[in-house]
Structure 1
Amino acid sequence: MFLEAIYHRPRKNWSYAYDGTTVHLRIRTKKDDLTEVYALAGDKYMWDQTMEYIPMTKLATDELFDYWECEATPPYRRLKYGFLLQKGQEKRWMTEYDFLTEPPANPDRLFEYPFINPDDVFQPPAWVKDAVFYQIFPERFANGDPGNDPEGALPWGSAEPTPNNFFGGDLQGVIDHLDHLSELGVNAIYFTPLFKATTNHKYDTEDYLEIDPQFGDKDTLKKLVDLCHARGIRVLLDAVFNHSGRTFAPFVDVQKNGEKSKYKDWFYIRSLPLEVVDGIPTYDTFAFEPLMPKLNTENPEVRAYLLKAAEYWIKETGIDGWRLDVANEVGHSFWREFRQVVKKANPDAYILGEVWHESSIWLEGDQFDAVMNYPFTNAVLDFFINRTADAEKFSFMLGKQLAGYPRQASEVMFNLLDSHDTARLLTQAGGDKRLMKLAAMFQFTYFGTPCIYYGDEIGMDGGHDPGCRKCMEWDETKHDKDLFTFYQTLIKLRKSHPALRTGSFKFLQAEKNGGKLAYLREDDNETIIVAVNNDRAGNTISLPVQHQQWTNLWNGQSLSAKQGQLTVKLPAYGFAILKAQQ
Structure 2
Amino acid sequence: MRWPDHAIWWHAYPLGFVGAEREALPADTPPEPRLGRLADWLDHLVELGCNGLVLGPVFASETHGYDTVDHYRIDPRLGTEDDLKRLIDDASQKGVRILLDGVFNHVGRSFEPFRDVASRGDDSPYRNWFHADLRTFEGHDRLITLNHAEPEVADYVTNVMTHWLERGVDGWRLDAAYAVPSPFWRTVTDRVRARFPDAWFVGEVIHGDYVRLIEDTGFDSVTQYELWKAIWSSLNDGNFFELAHALDRHNTMLDTFAPQTFLGNHDVTRIASRLSQKEHQAHALVLLLTIGGVPSIYAGDEFGFEGVKEERLGGDDAIRPAFPERPDEAPGYASPHHRLYQDLIGLRRRHPWLVRARTTVATLTNTALSYTVGHGAEQLAVVLNLDGETVETDLPTADWTCVAGEASFTTDGATVPPTGWAIAEP
Highest CA radius of gyration, 1 or 2?
1
- Which stretch of the first structure deviates more once superposed, 189-198 or 125-134? 125-134
Partners of 1:422 and 1:184 in 2: how far apart? 22
What is the deviation of 1:557? 7.8
Matched, 1:440 2:285: yes
* Conserved? CA contact 1:314–1:345, under 8 Å: no
Change (3 A) 1:524 1:242: closer
CA RMSD of aligned residues (A): 2.3
The equivalent residue for 1:479 is 332
Shift of 1:525: 4.4
The residue identity in structure 2 corresponding to 1:326 is: A
Once the 2 structures are TM-superposed, how far is the Cα of residue 307 of structure 1 from its aligned partner? 1.1
Aligned equivalents of 1:366, 1:260: Cα separation in 2: 33
CA distance in 2, matches of 1:525, 1:551: 17
Q: Work out which structure has the larger RCO, using CA pairs closer than 8 Å and 6 or more positions apart in sequence.
A: 2
Structure 2 distance, partners of 1:220, 1:150, is 17
* Structure 1: distance between partners of 2:409 and 2:262: 32
CA distance in 2, matches of 1:345, 1:573: 51
* TM-fit CA distance, 1:484: 0.8
CA pair 127-328 structure 1, distance change in 2 beyond 3 A: same
Q: 1:388-427, aligned counterparts within 5 Å?
A: 390-403=239-252, 405=253, 407-409=255-257, 412-427=258-273
Distance 1:559 1:331, change over 3 A: closer
Q: Is the 8 A contact 1:550 1:558 kept in 2?
A: no
User: How far apart, in 2, do the equivalents of 1:129 and 1:539 lie?
Assistant: 36
Say whether 1:462 aligns with 2:316: no
Structure-1 separation of matches of 2:33 and 2:227:
30
- Whether the aligned pair in 2 keeps the contact of 1:494 and 1:501 (CA below 8 Å) is no
In the alignment, which residue of structure 2 is the partner of 1:295? 146
Paired letter, 1:437: A
Q: 1:139 aligns with which of 6, 9, 15?
A: 15
8 Å CA contact retained: 2:403, 2:425: yes
Select the residue among 502, 506, 515 that pairs with 2:356.
502
- Rounded Cα–Cα distance in structure 1 between residues aligned with 2:202 and 2:231: 21
Which residue identity does 1:170 align to in structure 2?
Answer: R
Aligned to 2:41: 177
Tell me how far 1:348 sits from its aligned partner. 1.3
TM-score, normalisation: structure 2: 0.90
For 1:451 and 1:285, locate their aligned partners in 2 and report how far apart those are by CA, in whole Å.
Answer: 30
Cα-to-partner distance string for 1:305-357 (whole Å, 9 max, x where unaligned): 12110111101x21111111111111222111111122123211111011101
Alignment of 1:268 onto 2:111:
no
Change (3 A) 1:422 1:569: same
CA distance in 2, matches of 1:338, 1:182: 32
Partners in 1 of 2:37 and 2:115 — Cα distance?
32
Q: Where do 1:509-528 residues align within 5 Å?
A: 509-511=363-365, 514-528=366-380
Query: Partner of 1:216: helix, strand, or coil?
Result: coil
Query: In 2, distance between residues paired with 1:265 and 1:560?
Result: 67
Structure-2 separation of matches of 1:215 and 1:351: 24
Task: Tell me if structure 2 keeps the 8 A contact 1:354–1:371.
Answer: yes
- Taking structure 1 as reference, are residues 242 and 314 closer, same or farther at Cα in structure 2, changes over 3 Å only? same
What secondary structure is seen at the aligned counterpart in 2 of 1:460?
A: coil
Q: Over residues 90-133 of structure 1, what are the superposed CA-to-partner deviations in whole Å (9 max), with x where a residue is unaligned?
A: xxxxxxxxxxxxxxxxxxxxxxxxxxxxxxxxxxx722222111
In structure 2, relative to structure 1, the CA distance for the partners of 1:556 and 1:462 (3 Å cut) is closer
Q: Contact 2:60 / 2:71 at 8 angstroms: preserved in 1? A: yes
- Structure 2 residue 165 is the aligned partner of structure 1 residue 314: yes
For residue 390 of structure 1, report the CA deviation from its aligned partner.
Answer: 1.4
Equivalent of 2:386, from 526, 534, 544?
A: 534
Q: Distance in 1 between matches of 2:367 and 2:168?
A: 45
**Alpha-carbon deviation of 1:555?**
5.3
Q: How far apart, in 2, do the equivalents of 1:414 and 1:136 lie?
A: 15
Give the distance between the partners of 1:257 and 1:504, measured in 2 at CA: 56
- In structure 2, distance between residues paired with 1:370 and 1:127: 13
SS in structure 2 of the partner of residue 492 of structure 1: helix
Q: Deviations over 1:148-190 (max 9, x none)?
A: x947xxxxxxxxxxxxxxxx79311111221111111111111
**TM-score, normalization: structure 1?**
0.67
Is 1:235 the counterpart of 2:89 in the alignment? no
Q: For 1:318 and 1:493, how far apart are their aligned partners in 2?
A: 29
Q: Which has the higher helix share?
A: 2
Query: 1:130 and 2:6 equivalent?
Result: yes
Q: Which runs of 5+ in 1 are unaligned?
A: 1-124, 152-167, 271-282
